[in-house]
Amino acid sequence: MRYFNQPVKIIDDFFEFCLLYTDLALEQEYIKSEHIFPGNISKPINEINEKIFHNFAKKIITHLNGKQEITHMYTFFNYVTKLDEDHDINIYYPNFDFSGIIFLNSIENNDVVFYNRIDNNFTPSITIKMKENRCIIFSPKEYFKIHNSFINNENDKLVTLRFFGQVS
């Protein structure tokens, strides 16, 4: 399998109209995530609205180190509440070329932390503050964690758009 080098990239004010994506996310039905993601996930965005999916893919490709085409991309909305279990440090699916998260809202005083791993020891390497409409693109082989212990109210939800894919 081939990989390309995707450094951690932060894009603030990613969507021109973030509230449209937030509203779309809040309208969806969710199921409990069976994967490495905490909380609940929607069906894939291409099944929700194909036009939004294609526009999103066009925007993402402009941030992927000179790549011309996304050959496969999986996108979905994700929400986490106070009641969801905190997950361990993890990686996305390492057989993909890129991955990312966009915060459609934010909860104050929370960070995304990336880690270096040596044997079974993890040390923080990059800390990024959570911010509404902030996109973070990174290699799916990067270890990271988003803590959900920051949510104080049972009615609060952290709403994100998660994505990962392959390029040619």
CATH of the domain at 102: 2.60.120.620
| pLDDT number for residue 75 | 95
Residue 101 burial by CB count (10 A; 0-12/13-18/19+): exposed, middle or buried? buried
If you count DSSP H runs as helices and E runs as strands, how many of each does the chain have, helices first? 3, 10
Q: Look at the chain and report how many structural domains it folds into.
A: 1
Residue 4 lies in a domain: no
Task: List, in order, residues 6 or more apart from 131 with CB less than 8 Å away.
Answer: 12, 103, 106
Q: How confident is the model at residue 25 (pLDDT cuts 50, 70, 90)?
A: very high
Query: Higher pLDDT residue, 139 or 154?
Result: 139
Average pLDDT over residues 131-148: 86
Residue 3 lies in a domain: no
Residue 1 lies in a domain: no
pLDDT tens column, 84-122: 656 677 787 778 989 999 999 877 767 888 898 888 899
Residue 23 is inside which H or E element, if any? Answer: helix 18-26
Kindly report the pTM of this predicted structure: 0.88
The residue among 81, 73, 83, 91 whose CA lies nearest residue 35 is 91
Residue 61 lies in a domain: yes
| Spatial contact of 9 and 63, defined as CB atoms under 8 Å apart | yes
Name the 3-class secondary structure at 60: helix
The residue among 76, 75, 71 whose CA lies nearest residue 97 is 71
| Spatial contact of 132 and 141, defined as CB atoms under 8 Å apart | no
Average pLDDT over residues 114-137: 90
Residue 136 lies in a domain: yes
Distance, CA of 15 to CA of 138 (rounded, Å): 18
Query: Higher pLDDT residue, 13 or 126?
Result: 13
Domain span including residue 65: 9-167
